[in-house]
Structure 1
Amino acid sequence: MSSSSLSSPVTATAKIPKRVFTPFTASEVDRYNRGNLIQPSKEFPKVIAGKRTFDDTTTLNSAAWKTCTHPESALYFCDIQRRIFTDSDVRDVKILRTIEKCILRLSLLAKSHSITFPSPSQPSSLPLELVLELTKGKRKECRYYFVDVQKRVLF
């Protein structure tokens, strides 16, 4: 797969976001302070005996993105084919568009460093992965890191 495959819903002529691109590490993911909390209810929910799966049934605006649940119960989103992961809520069309534009810009950045992302699958190597996080507030950032799965390195 070439880096152009990253631009799927966003064309190369799309306006690139004015976000600051900031590298970060896995330990800096802001998973627990997002403010997206479920409001408590005074009603006790009815739970079917033995039920162990509680999937999010919200419709996504993109067939590529899937909802996933972190082992510690936090919701995140992934595009398995492109091997991209984010905690940013891509169910929101505006956030999805911003994420896709950031992916396009990061693929161009990777290409300028001779990194093909996603990397071609070869029997002897695993592909690269990308993790993104959009920040809120006055300073709009797209925080990111790449993962070389085979070498187990963040870069």
Structure 2
Amino acid sequence: MRLTMKKKLFIILPALILAGCVMSDAERKTAYADHYYQSPEYIADYKQKISTMSVNELAVVGAQEDRAKMNGQSRMKIGDSLYIENIEAKDNNVIYHYSLSPAWLKKSASSQEKDQINMQKDLTFRTCSLKTVQLAQEKGLAEIHQYYDDYPQHILFTLHANKALCKENGF
């Protein structure tokens, strides 16, 4: 049985997040780099593709490509407690909108805080490990991940991925 990239991501992502609780940053960096390896040819093609784009155009294309991964679904479950609701571009940002499940919202405040810390670390290491993301960030592209407790009415918390965070984390 051949697994699609999306299925592989959904299988490995929870394991990487959970492993992150016991993994050092160096071990996590190696695990993510191995899992998200991109061939030199793929990176060169991507570099060529974005060479003539402005950062705002790059955000639009990035949002369209990620939204296409939803296969036409208006929302898509991406974990036990998370749904992706929408992906859009605004200026130089790709903005991801997620809704949190009622079960996640019932967790204790300290448990939610630990989850948020692990989610930010996962987001940083996952995005910063991708050479294509690094190329896009060089042009000024950033990601904003908004998590709602009442989509689309109320954002509970926001996570970021950008060049400064990658640099701050040793990428």
Quickly name the TM-score band, shorter chain normalised: under 0.3
Higher fraction of helix: 2
State the structure with more CA Rg. Answer: 1
Higher relative contact order (Cα pairs below 8 Å, separated by 6+ residues) = 1
TM normalised by structure 1 equals: 0.26
